[in-house]
């Protein structure tokens, strides 16, 4: 099929991945009149539960992948570590969006940072590391504290170690398995923000945010929009995102994660035009921080994913006002005996706040596992954060989330 051809409702779309991002894609696709075929190893994952068809197979099972790809009009994915052979097998049958060139960049942190730097996008100092002597040299160059990350894989803080002094070097290298890594200089940032963007085959780009994010134990905890940054800083983040979308020729949805540099933290003599936004990493898919778009915008990130995968131009997002999203982790579920959080507490306060509960259909709750999220819409960002966090605390009063 021609990559510029619009895929009409009634067609079947392919989703690689069976988690919550895939589930919300399926919901959005159904609302627009499309069918969805999911391929994932989990026979009862969140996406497979609601899909029209589900193939329970490993991404390396190319026979199953070929059958899956031949049954759909286009393929997208919910995680960036799609094996190259799997993506290539799908591309032989039809569009894969975002394309394989985007996957290749996002799957390797060294390639990602190098590509962004070559595009003229601001990134922090970094060095590629393939041996202990190279790591020692990189630490001497970038200093401590710094962060050592595996070049491939890793998410929610996995696959990385903070080096606080030269004494940490050998342990960190051994602990990460002596695999290719990237060493990144520690960034003095004011806050972490993200911009979720959707780009069509015609180059039209729509951005959400910037969205301000706070993490706990390396897992996203709360997201809020507006971010609280100045208009100048927000404009810079959107401009950088659009530059990345064009430079990588993204068709689909991609999230750019930023460090907002603390005011005055730029080095002496540094070009002020460099601005206060440094790109941390890319996620070529909908993003956890963008879940609030389900309730805070007229068009969600998942609807944009469906539309752009189908060759349509992304429609305006249609912001409705301030909103905050609070993740619901498995820690909120009773540990001593099977049970559920106190859902009735949400209904008891429904008259006081605009709350929305989203659950992902995961059968087993585990500490740190994303089970769902709450979105609160309010008059101000601060009120939205308050409403979302207080509602979450009522679900399990004995397990109130302590501040960092």
Q: Is residue 230 part of a domain?
A: yes
Instruction: Give the mean model confidence (pLDDT) for residues 135-159.
Output: 87
Instruction: Give the mean model confidence (pLDDT) for residues 146-174.
Output: 87
Could you tell me which of 32, 25, 27 has the C-alpha nearest to residue 11?
A: 32
pLDDT band at 347 (very low <50, low <70, confident <90, very high): confident
Instruction: Give the mean model confidence (pLDDT) for residues 319-334.
Output: 95
Q: Answer whether residue 286 shows pLDDT above 60.
A: yes
Whole-angstrom distance, CA of residue 34 vs CA of residue 286: 18
Exposed, middle or buried, 309 (CB in 10 Å: 0-12/13-18/19+)? buried
* Token pair in block for residue 166: 């030269």
27-31, 87-91, 191-195, 264-268: which has the minimum mean pLDDT? 264-268
Q: Answer whether residue 400 shows pLDDT above 90.
A: no
CATH of the domain at 163: 3.30.1490.20
Looking at residue 378, what is its pLDDT? Answer: 96
Looking at the chain, the whole-number percentage of residues with pLDDT higher than 90 is 84
Task: For residues 142 and 234, state if they share a domain.
Answer: no
Task: For residues 386 and 337, state if they share a domain.
Answer: yes
Could you tell me which of 234, 242, 236 has the C-alpha nearest to residue 207?
A: 242
Tell me what the pLDDT averaged over the chain comes to.
92
Looking at residue 22, what is its pLDDT? Answer: 98
Q: Is residue 294 part of a domain?
A: yes
Q: Answer whether residue 24 shows pLDDT above 90.
A: yes
Whole-angstrom distance, CA of residue 329 vs CA of residue 366: 8
Task: For residues 58 and 171, state if they share a domain.
Answer: no
- Which pLDDT tens digit goes with each residue over 350-369? 555 699 999 999 989 999 99
> Of 133, 166, 185, which one is at a domain's C-terminal end?
185
pLDDT band at 338 (very low <50, low <70, confident <90, very high): confident
Task: For residues 207 and 348, state if they share a domain.
Answer: yes
Looking at residue 3, what is its pLDDT? Answer: 61
Q: Is residue 236 part of a domain?
A: yes
Q: Is residue 265 part of a domain?
A: yes
* Token pair in block for residue 189: 């940032």
The whole domain housing 357 covers: 189-399
Whole-angstrom distance, CA of residue 269 vs CA of residue 81: 39
Q: Is residue 237 part of a domain?
A: yes
Could you tell me which of 90, 8, 24, 27 has the C-alpha nearest to residue 57?
A: 90
Task: For residues 135 and 200, state if they share a domain.
Answer: no
> Of 158, 185, 212, which one is at a domain's C-terminal end?
185
CATH of the domain at 23: 3.40.50.20
Looking at residue 335, what is its pLDDT? Answer: 77
Could you tell me which of 98, 276, 112, 106 has the C-alpha nearest to residue 197?
A: 98
Q: Answer whether residue 398 shows pLDDT above 60.
A: no
Residue scoring higher pLDDT (200 or 217): 200
Looking at residue 191, what is its pLDDT? Answer: 95
- Which pLDDT tens digit goes with each residue over 225-277? 999 999 999 999 999 999 999 999 999 999 999 999 987 655 434 444 456 89
Task: For residues 274 and 355, state if they share a domain.
Answer: yes
Could you tell me which of 317, 298, 297, 324 has the C-alpha nearest to residue 381?
A: 324
Task: For residues 135 and 281, state if they share a domain.
Answer: no
Q: Is residue 63 part of a domain?
A: yes
Task: For residues 226 and 172, state if they share a domain.
Answer: no
Task: For residues 138 and 208, state if they share a domain.
Answer: no
Task: For residues 374 and 387, state if they share a domain.
Answer: yes
Looking at residue 377, what is its pLDDT? Answer: 96
Task: For residues 169 and 285, state if they share a domain.
Answer: no
Looking at residue 153, what is its pLDDT? Answer: 76
Task: For residues 242 and 349, state if they share a domain.
Answer: yes
- Which pLDDT tens digit goes with each residue over 374-385? 999 999 999 999
Q: Is residue 5 part of a domain?
A: no
Exposed, middle or buried, 53 (CB in 10 Å: 0-12/13-18/19+)? middle
Looking at the chain, the whole-number percentage of residues with pLDDT higher than 70 is 91
Q: Answer whether residue 123 shows pLDDT above 90.
A: yes
Q: Is residue 197 part of a domain?
A: yes
- Which pLDDT tens digit goes with each residue over 34-73? 999 999 999 899 999 999 999 999 999 999 999 999 999 9
Q: How many domains does the chain have?
A: 3
């Amino acid at each position: 099929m021609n990559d510029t051809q619009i895929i009409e409702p009634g067609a079947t779309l392919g989703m690689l991945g069976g988690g919550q991002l895939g589930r919300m894609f399926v919901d959005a696709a159904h609302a627009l009149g499309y069918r969805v075929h999911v391929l994932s190893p989990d026979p009862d994952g969140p996406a497979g539960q609601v899909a029209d068809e589900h193939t329970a197979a490993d991404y390396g099972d190319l026979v199953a992948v070929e059958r899956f790809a031949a049954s759909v009009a286009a393929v997208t994915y919910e995680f960036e570590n799609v094996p190259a052979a799997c993506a290539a097998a799908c591309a032989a049958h039809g569009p894969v969006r975002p394309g394989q060139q985007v996957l290749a960049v996002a799957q390797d942190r060294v390639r990602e940072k190098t590509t962004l730097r070559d595009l003229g996008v601001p990134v922090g100092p970094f060095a590629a590391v393939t041996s202990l002597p190279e790591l020692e040299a990189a630490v001497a160059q970038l200093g401590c504290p710094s962060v050592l990350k595996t070049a491939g894989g890793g998410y929610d803080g996995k696959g990385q170690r903070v080096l606080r002094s030269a004494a940490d070097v050998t342990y960190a290298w051994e602990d990460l398995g002596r695999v290719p890594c990237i060493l990144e200089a520690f960034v003095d940032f004011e806050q972490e923000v993200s911009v979720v963007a959707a780009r069509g085959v015609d180059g039209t780009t729509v951005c959400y945010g910037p969205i301000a994010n706070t993490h706990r134990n390396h897992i996203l905890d709360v997201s809020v929009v507006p971010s609280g940054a100045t208009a100048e800083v927000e404009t810079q983040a959107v401009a950088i995102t659009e530059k990345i979308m064009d430079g990588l020729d993204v068709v689909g949805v991609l999230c750019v994660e930023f460090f907002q540099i603390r005011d005055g933290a730029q080095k002496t003599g540094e070009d002020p035009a460099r601005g206060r936004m440094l790109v941390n990493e890319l996620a070529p898919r909908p993003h956890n921080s963008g879940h609030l778009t389900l309730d805070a915008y007229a068009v969600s990130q998942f609807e944009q994913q469906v539309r752009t995968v189908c060759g349509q131009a992304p429609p305006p997002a249609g912001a409705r006002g301030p909103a905050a999203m609070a993740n619901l982790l498995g820690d909120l579920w009773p540990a001593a005996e099977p049970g559920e959080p106190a859902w009735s507490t949400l209904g008891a306060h429904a008259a006081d706040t605009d709350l929305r509960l989203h659950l992902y259909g995961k059968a087993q709750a585990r500490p740190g596992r994303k089970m769902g999220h709450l979105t609160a819409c309010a008059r101000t960002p601060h009120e939205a954060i308050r409403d979302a966090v207080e509602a979450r605390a009522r679900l399990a009063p004995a397990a109130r989330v302590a501040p960092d």
